[in-house]
Structure formats: C-alpha cells, structure tokens
Amino acid sequence: MLKRALTLFPLLTMLLLAQAPDPGALARKAVDLLLAGKYPEFLAGATAAVQKDLPETELVKLGALIKGYGAVQSIGETTVTKSGPNSIAMIPVKFANQNINFRVVINASGLMAGFFQLPGGVDWKRPEYSKPDSFKERAVTVGEGEWKLPGTLTVPVGAGPFPAVVLVHGSGPNDRDETVGGAKVFKDLAEGLASRGIVVLRYEKRTKMYGPRVAALGKFTVQEEVVEDAEKALALLRTQPEVNGQKVYLIGHSMGAYLAPRIAEADGKLAGMVLMAGNVRPMEDLLVEQAEYLGVKGNQMDTAKGLQAKVKKLEIGDEDSPALGGVPISYWVDLKEYHPDAAAKALGVPMLILQGERDYQVTMTDFGMWKATVGASKGVKLKSYPALNHLFVAGEGKSLPAEYAKAGHVAAAVIEDIAGFVK
C-alpha cells in the first residue's frame, strides 16, 4: 500500500487544514483554493508541523502538476462518508486531460487531517489491437468466504482448449483493470491477448475490495495481500472448460512481477511466467531512488531515507514493533530475505521478462539484474522497449507522474510479444 503512494502516484500528498463546521463545504473550499493557486489561504488553517513539511514552495510544485491535467471542465458533487471519528469528503474534478478525485479527511478535533489527489474515472477506448468479435467475457469469483473477489474471464471465440493467463497487479489497491490515471493496463492485456487466442483472468485486488479489513489485521504480509488470491485465481482458471490446464501462465506487473516467483513456487504447476517491470531490488531502495529522480528534497527526502534505514535494520522477531510508513513490520520483515531473481532461477520455468526503458519506478538497473541472474537460463527471454514507461505506454522524453494522467494503451508490440511467448 505504501509503495503505491510513493511510486505510481508519488505526489499523492497528504495536506492538513483547519475544519469548518460543514466538512463538505470545507473540502470544496480547499479544492477551490488549491485550483486557484491561493496557497497562503490554503495553508492558513494548517498545523505548524504541516506548514513546515509542506511549505508554499511545495504547493507551487503540486499546482504545476495539476496544471498539466488541463483546464477544469467541471467539479462534481461532494460526497461525505464517516470513517470512525473522521469525515471523508470526495470531490470529483474533470480536467481536460484527466479526471481527479480530491479526497479530504476531517478529524474529530475539527482539523482537516488529509488532502489527497486520486485518479478519477477515465473514458477508456478500445485499442486497435482489441478485436471484440473474437472474444466474450463472463463474471467469475476468485476464492470464497470473507475474502472472495469478483473477477472477469475473457475467453476467445472458437474451439478450445486455449492457453490461459492470470494477471497479478502492481502495488496498491488496484481494480481488475489495473486502472492507473489514463490507462487500464490489465483491460488492454485481457482484450489484446484474448483477441489472439488466450484466455485471461483478472480480478479485483484484496486491498481494493477489503482495504479497511486488511488494514485492521494489524499484522499482514504479501501472502495475504497478493499471493493467496493469485493461487486461488490460478486454481480457478484450471477448472474452466475452455482452458488447457497444462498451459496456464502468470503475468505479473510491477509488484506482481516481483512476487511472481513466490506465487509460482506456491502453485507448482505454472507453464511459465511473464514479468512486466518487475523489481529485483527491495521496495525501500526503490522509494528513495524514485524520490531522487523526482527531485524530492527536504523533509520528504529525509522521511524516505529514514524509512529505508529503519527497514534495513529490521530482523525476524521485530513484528510487534510500530508500523513503518503505514505498513506493518510483519510486511517488511517477510520480504527481508526474498530475492526474486534467485527464486526465479531456482524454479526453472520459462520466463519472458519485459521492461520499459523510460520507466523510473522500476528501472533498467533491475532489468540488468534479471539478465545477470536468469538471462542465460533455458526458456528465458528478455526484452526492453525504448519508448515505454512503467505502464508499458509509449511516450517521449523524461517520464514523469503527469504522463500517467494522459489516456494511453499498452503498446501493441508488448501484446504481440506476450502472445507469442504464451502460444
């Protein structure tokens, strides 16, 4: 969860403001002030600590990012919900290039305890490589009981059985389409691969469906967040009549690729894996590298480096210590001795490892580490794409967060390369 805040959306900044009697009215006023660039007024009700952490200079940077979304076209109705002692107001704003939901948290003491910008809905348009007449979709359920997850099975038209893949999300509370800004990475993959004779299963991530319940566990790891559900999805896929159970693959993106070897080991039956922008280095190191890339300085950089140092010192037995970065210690400790490249090599299954060369979240450094460890192994293919970013969407120049706000699709070459590997 932390990784999503500092990677896919590194500028989802929490701001604190003073509360007005009506939480919804205060939230709307805050958004209006921010959009108008009235930063002193925006900060007027903030605590001293927040004013120190988020000076006006930082708000200017945030304002520049927001300008990249284009002109404001409309501001939707404010909705307010209760979460324990807090009130949470959500305000949807439609910009020319991107939809954003501003989320404002007001605490019980009368102070505004949070101000976030989150990706809003996008008007997804089918990419040219999707052939809707060549596949059909149906709803499925991954798992059962308290953690059951809704999913979508995309099935080619025609006589099966077909090879099949399960899509495993990146970090954060992802939906089944892996919607990130203006892209729907998994929807593109599902329709593109199904158009080429491959069954695809995608599903809502547990932290998307049951975020508060997962957080309430106190102690959890990637086992509960990712691995268990991926195992259940693979098992479900093999029961489908259209699927060739001997040709079931896993496609992991970002954190899903990082954890793919662990999932594959637990499953024990995979025909192969596709790793898209999978990191080899630990998350805490990526957080600092990304902060440096984005020019983060001052207290925010100190926080990132401080977190990195604390995680490095953790040992088994520290699980009862206070959370770090909003993540339980159990989560960090669980990954301390996990080396995905070594784990992948030990599996000996076919792999396709893909990397966007413009990706600043998981970089060519990690790609080089995969190559050094498994590049010479039988059945392993590696490919990088000069124009693609972390979402495997094409662009130019230095990749920045604002790029994700633009509508885009997974590159056709990626679809073709994966289809060729699986088939």
* Per-residue confidence (pLDDT) for residue 54, from 0 to 100: 65
**CA torsion angle 35 116 171 301 (round to 10):** 90
Which of 87, 171, 254, 399 is labelled catalytic?
254
pLDDT at 347: 96
Q: If 0-12 CB within 10 Å is exposed, 13-18 middle and 19+ buried, where does residue 316 land? A: exposed
| Spatial CA neighbour of 105 closest among 23, 10, 1, 196 | 23
Residue 409 annotated as catalytic? no
Q: Is residue 359 annotated as part of the catalytic site, yes or no?
A: yes
pTM of the model: 0.78
Residue 99's pLDDT is 83
CA distance 34 to 50: 16
| Contact by Cβ (8 Å): 51, 130 | no
For the chain, report the end-to-end CA distance as a whole number of angstroms.
Answer: 34
Strand-pair partners of 90? 79, 103
pLDDT at 404: 85
pLDDT of amino acid 18: 33
What are the C-alpha distances in Å from 159 to residues 166, 197, 209, 376?
20, 10, 34, 37
CB atoms near residue 212 (< 10 Å): 9
pLDDT tens-digit profile, the chain (423 residues) = 333 333 333 333 333 333 335 778 887 888 888 899 888 888 776 666 556 666 788 788 888 888 888 899 999 888 888 766 767 888 889 888 778 888 877 666 667 777 778 777 667 899 999 999 999 999 999 999 999 999 999 999 998 899 999 999 998 889 999 988 789 999 999 999 999 999 999 999 999 898 888 888 878 999 999 999 999 999 999 999 999 999 999 999 999 999 999 999 999 999 999 999 999 999 999 999 998 998 888 888 888 899 999 999 998 888 888 888 878 999 999 999 999 999 999 999 999 999 999 999 999 999 999 999 999 999 999 999 999 999 999 999 999 887 887 889 999 999 999 999 999
Is the CATH code 3.10.450.590 the one for domain 2-119? Answer: yes
Domain boundaries, the chain: 2-119, 132-280+339-422
Q: Tokens in use for 191? A: 């329709």
CATH architecture of 132-280+339-422: 3-Layer(aba) Sandwich (3.40)
The 8-class DSSP code of residue 198 comes to: -
Does the fold of domain 132-280+339-422 match that of domain 2-119? no
Q: How many CB atoms lie within 10 A of CB 77?
A: 9
| Angstrom distances, CA of residue 242 to CA of 138, 236, 269 | 12, 12, 18
Q: Looking at residue 241, what DSSP letter applies?
A: T
Largest CA distance in the chain: 66
| From 53, 341, 359, 366, the catalytic residue | 359
CA angle 270, 274, 280 (to 5 degrees): 105
* CA–CA gap between residue 279 and residue 62 (Å, rounded): 28
Residue among 169, 253, 390, 409 flagged as catalytic: 390
The confidence score (pLDDT) of residue 110 equals 63
CB 257 within 8 Å of CB 167: no
